[in-house]
C-alpha cells in the first residue's frame, strides 16, 4: 500500500480493576488505520480524462496534417498531369508548324525553279525571235547586186529559214490532219534539226491554251512497232529526237491498238526541248503543217 494512503492515530484504552474502578494507569495501544484519500480517485480520473483529451487532440491534429498532405499531393499530381498535357500539345503544334514550314519551303523552291525555267525559256524565245526577225534592208550602192532570192510565205503561214509553217487549230485524227495539210499544199511537219525544234517548241507555247492542247507532227510507227518514220518515209534520226522522259511507251490504256503517232508541245516549256509524246492516232489534236518557202516574185534568182 502506498505510504501516502496510511494515517497513524493513537487509541487509548482504560482497563477496569477488579473492584470495578478505573485503573489510573493507562495502556496505550497503537493501531494502524488505513484511511483512504477520498480525493485520490477524483484526481486519478481527472488525470485520465486529461490524458484522454490530450490523446484525442493529438490524433485529430495528425489526421488533419495527413489530410492536408494528401490534398497537396493530389494537387501536385494534377498540376504535373496538366504540365505534361500542355507539353504534349505544344510539341504537337510545333510538329505541325515544322511540317507547314517544310511544305512552304518546298513550294517556294518549286516556284523558284519554275520561275527560273520561265525566265530561261523567255530569254531563249527572245533570242530566237531576234534571229528570225529580218533586219531592215541596208542601203546599197547602185553598183551592188545580190543573187539571193527573197523567200516569202503567204496567208497564215509563218516563215522560218527556208520553210513555211501553218499551225492548224482544227482538232482531228493524225490521218485527217495529214490530209488537211496536203490540201493546203504541204505536209505534217518533219523536224530534222535542233534549231527547227527550238523554233517550234517556243511557238507552240504561244499557240497552246492548256497542257493537253498539243499538236500532231509527221512521225509514226504505224507500219511497224518501234520503227519510227517521217511522212516522207525517212527514218527518224536519233540524233534529232526529242522524246519526253519515259516516251515513247505505246500505252494501251485508252486504245488497245497502242500509240503509233507523235504529238508535241509543253505549255510551261520543256526541259532540253524534250516534248514529243506517242499517242493513239485516233485522238483529235491540232497539227503543224510545213512546206518550202517560195521566192518572192521579182526578186533575184
In a domain, 87, yes or no: no
* pLDDT for residue 49: 54
Does pLDDT of 146 surpass 60?
A: no
CA–CA dist 219, 259 (Å, integer)? 12
Question: Which residue has better confidence, 263 or 52?
Answer: 263
Q: For residues 251 and 283, is the Cβ–Cβ distance under 8 A?
A: no
Helices 194-207, 39-132: inter-axial angle, 10-degree rounding: 120
* pLDDT for residue 141: 46
Question: Which residue has better confidence, 266 or 155?
Answer: 266
Residue 25: phi and psi, rounded to 5, are -95, 140
In a domain, 175, yes or no: yes
> Could you tell me what percentage of the chain is helix, strand and coil, using 3-state DSSP and rounding each to the nearest 5?
40, 20, 40
Locate 209 and state its grid cell: 491554251
Question: Which residue has better confidence, 186 or 65?
Answer: 186
What's the pLDDT band for 188 if we cut at 50, 70, 90?
very high
In a domain, 101, yes or no: no
Judgement on whether residues 155 and 283 belong to the same structural domain of the protein: yes
Question: Which residue has better confidence, 141 or 125?
Answer: 125
CA–CA dist 65, 256 (Å, integer)? 88
CA–CA dist 236, 226 (Å, integer)? 11
Question: Which residue has better confidence, 288 or 16?
Answer: 288
150-177 as b/e: b if 16+ CB within 10 A = ebebeeebeebeebbbbbbeeebbbebb
Judgement on whether residues 34 and 155 belong to the same structural domain of the protein: no
Judgement on whether residues 35 and 163 belong to the same structural domain of the protein: no
In sequence order, the 6+-apart residues with CB closer than 8 A to the CB of 199 are: 128, 132, 160
Average pLDDT, the chain: 79
Does pLDDT of 242 surpass 70?
A: yes
Judgement on whether residues 164 and 284 belong to the same structural domain of the protein: yes
CATH number at residue 266: 3.10.100.10
Judgement on whether residues 288 and 156 belong to the same structural domain of the protein: yes
Does pLDDT of 254 surpass 80?
A: yes
As a whole-number percent, the residues of the chain with pLDDT over 70 amount to 68
In a domain, 98, yes or no: no
Q: For residues 218 and 260, is the Cβ–Cβ distance under 8 A?
A: no
In a domain, 189, yes or no: yes
In a domain, 146, yes or no: no
In sequence order, the 6+-apart residues with CB closer than 8 A to the CB of 285 are: 171, 172, 174, 177, 214, 215, 216, 263, 279
Q: Across-strand partners of 7?
A: 33
* pLDDT for residue 65: 87
As a whole-number percent, the residues of the chain with pLDDT over 90 amount to 46
Does pLDDT of 8 surpass 70?
A: no
* pLDDT for residue 185: 95
What are the helix (H) ranges across the chain?
39-132, 174-183, 194-207
What's the pLDDT band for 143 if we cut at 50, 70, 90?
very low
Number of domains in the chain: 2
HSE toward the beta carbon, residue 85, CA cutoff 13 A: 6
Average confidence (pLDDT) over 116-123: 74
Average confidence (pLDDT) over 109-118: 69
Residue 190 structural domain? 151-295
In a domain, 118, yes or no: no
Amino acid at each position: 500500500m502506498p505510504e501516502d494512503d496510511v494515517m497513524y492515530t493513537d487509541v487509548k484504552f482504560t482497563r477496569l480493576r477488579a473492584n470495578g474502578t478505573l485503573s489510573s494507569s493507562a495502556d496505550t495501544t497503537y493501531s494502524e488505520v488505513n484511511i483512504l484519500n477520498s480525493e485520490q480517485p477524483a484526481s486519478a480520473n481527472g488525470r485520465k480524462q486529461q490524458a484522454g483529451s490530450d490523446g484525442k487532440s493529438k490524433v485529430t491534429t495528425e489526421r488533419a496534417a495527413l489530410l492536408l498532405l494528401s490534398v497537396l499531393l493530389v494537387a501536385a499530381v494534377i498540376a504535373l498531369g496538366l504540365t505534361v498535357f500542355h507539353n504534349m500539345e505544344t510539341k504537337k503544334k510545333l510538329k505541325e508548324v515544322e511540317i507547314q514550314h517544310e511544305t512552304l519551303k518546298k513550294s517556294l523552291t518549286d516556284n523558284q525553279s519554275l520561275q527560273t525555267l520561265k525566265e530561261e525559256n523567255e530569254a531563249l524565245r527572245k533570242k530566237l525571235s531576234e534571229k528570225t526577225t529580218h533586219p531592215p534592208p541596208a542601203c546599197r550602192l547602185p553598183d551592188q547586186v545580190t543573187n539571193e532570192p527573197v523567200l516569202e510565205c503567204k496567208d497564215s503561214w509563218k516563215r522560218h529559214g527556208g520553210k513555211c509553217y501553218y499551225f492548224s487549230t482544227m482538232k482531228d485524227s493524225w490521218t485527217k490532219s495529214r490530209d488537211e495539210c496536203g490540201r493546203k499544199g504541204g505536209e505534217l511537219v518533219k523536224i530534222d534539226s535542233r534549231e527547227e525544234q527550238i523554233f517550234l517548241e517556243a511557238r507552240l507555247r504561244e499557240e497552246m491554251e492548256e497542257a493537253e492542247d498539243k499538236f500532231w507532227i509527221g512521225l509514226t510507227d504505224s507500219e511497224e512497232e518501234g520503227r519510227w518514220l517521217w511522212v516522207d518515209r525517212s527514218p527518224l534520226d536519233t540524233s534529232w529526237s526529242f522524246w519526253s522522259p519515259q516516251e515513247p511507251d505505246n500505252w494501251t490504256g485508252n486504245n488497245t491498238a497502242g500509240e503509233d503517232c507523235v504529238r508535241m508541245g509543253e505549255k510551261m516549256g520543256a526541259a532540253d526541248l524534250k516534248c514529243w509524246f506517242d499517242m493513239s492516232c485516233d485522238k483529235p489534236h491540232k497539227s503543224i503543217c510545213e512546206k518550202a518557202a517560195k521566192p518572192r516574185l521579182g526578186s533575184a534568182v
